[in-house]
Amino acid sequence: MYKRSIVITGGAGFIGSHVVRLFVNKYPEYRIINLDKLTYAGNLANLKDIEDRPNYRFVRMDVCDFEGFSALMREEHADGIIHLAAESHVDRSIKDPFTFARTNVMGTLSLLQAAKIYWESLPEGYEGKMFYHISTDEVYGALQMNRPEGIEPPFSTAASSSEHHLAYGDDFFREETRYNPHSPYSASKASSDHFVRAYHDTYGMPVIVTNCSNNYGPYQFPEKLIPLFINNIRHGKPLPVYGKGENVRDWLFVEDHARAIDLIFHKGRAAETYNIGGFNEWKNIDIIRVVIRTVDRLLGNSEGHSLGLITYVADRLGHDARYAIDSTKLQRELGWEPSLQFEEGIEKTVRWYLDNQEWMDKVTSGEYQRYYEEMYK
């Protein structure tokens, strides 16, 4: 008999696989059910090291499958949901917004309604239950690019907000910042966040929403900036920089996000929102230079060897200028802080991709999608 039974959706994806691994390893007394449709972004090879654990179960399911999810909740007596499954890439949302509305909005609503019906049918009702929705800072829209002249990294390694204020002033996304999404991706995530809060306000469901900045680290699908560029450098392929490369993103190591999710799931207050970020802003072109320098060094290339691969291309439509999270509330209330300085995180990440070329080659060749069929035939 397990102490808790938690469904983690999107557990075969990038962040989800880190959350599943953390929960399966740290809480043998919990049953962890990984629910994932295995779209192009889902890869069970991300969880090879824990797939045989007794407290782990994988279920291939679409979050839009209301009947299937209702039956799963009853079968597993689920008391917690950590919802990460989503379509997550902005460029894809620009080409195919319907898929984003379906999965991110209708899928979230379907999970909420199934959880509501199941939990309300129990004698204890919502007591001891939690619907935790993982969202993004992109729902807040974009900030101005206002870095003062002459201030360059390493302010990016600032561990404290005061150092950050020196560089950027007081212009951040905070929990109370008005939603103002610009891309079909962020519009769909904003919509799902509103539905989650509506289930608290209307039915009294215990919910938490967190909005995190850009993640990086092992197991990220190589359509996103950092793994794409590491792989392209390895193959001597062009590095497509959108626009002038001046857009600013706030980067967090994925394991620090997973630790925050663990902490908030257990200690966060229901109906609250927490912003998650490490006060770590970088212009794209600066981060690209750091990645190039690190990959070249680890591959034994001369310094600057791969700089010539930088290729400026047409800008992304509606490209948000700057994201920056103020995570003071999380740091103050729950004592969370990022464990890694950015340079360490990038070094760890580049090493991981170079040491796991087989993972990358299987992903880029499409072979990873046969893993499920082989494992579960």
Active site residues: 137-138, 185
Told to check if 214 binds ligand NAD by CB under 6 A, we report yes
365: which 2 tokens?
């060749």
CA angle 276/21/251 to nearest 5° reads 30
Q: Please, what sign has the CA dihedral across residues 142, 148, 149, 152? A: negative
Please state, in angstroms and rounded to a whole number, the distance separating the CA atoms of residues 300 and 294: 10
* Binding pattern for the stretch 134-173 against ligand NAD, x by CB under 6 A and - elsewhere: x-x-------------------------------------
* Binding pattern for the stretch 21-40 against ligand NAD, x by CB under 6 A and - elsewhere: ---------------xxxx-
Q: Are 242 and 315 in contact (CB under 8 A)?
A: yes
Q: Are 40 and 6 in contact (CB under 8 A)?
A: no
Using CB atoms within 10 A of its CB, is residue 76 exposed (0-12), middle (13-18) or buried (19+)? middle
| 196 or 241: CB nearest ligand TYD | 241
Nearest to 83 by CA among 122, 139, 125, 36: 36
| 172 or 371: CB nearest ligand TYD | 172
* b (16+ CB within 10 A) / e for 220-243: bbbebbbbbbbbbbbeeeebebbe
**Which among ligand TYD, ligand NAD, none contacts residue 240 (Cβ within 5 to 8 A by kind)?**
ligand TYD
Told to check if 8 binds ligand NAD by CB under 6 A, we report no
Told to check if 320 binds ligand NAD by CB under 6 A, we report no
* Binding pattern for the stretch 102-141 against ligand NAD, x by CB under 6 A and - elsewhere: -x---x--------------------------x-x-----
Segment contacting ligand NAD by CB under 6 A, of 61-69, 201-209, 238-246, 291-299 = 61-69
Residues lying near ligand TYD in the complex (CB under 6 A) are found at 90, 214, 224-225, 228, 240-242, 247, 249, 284, 316
197: which 2 tokens?
């809060």
The residues binding ligand NAD (CB under 6 A) are 10, 12-16, 36-39, 41-42, 62-64, 84-88, 103, 107, 134, 136, 189, 212, 214-215, 221
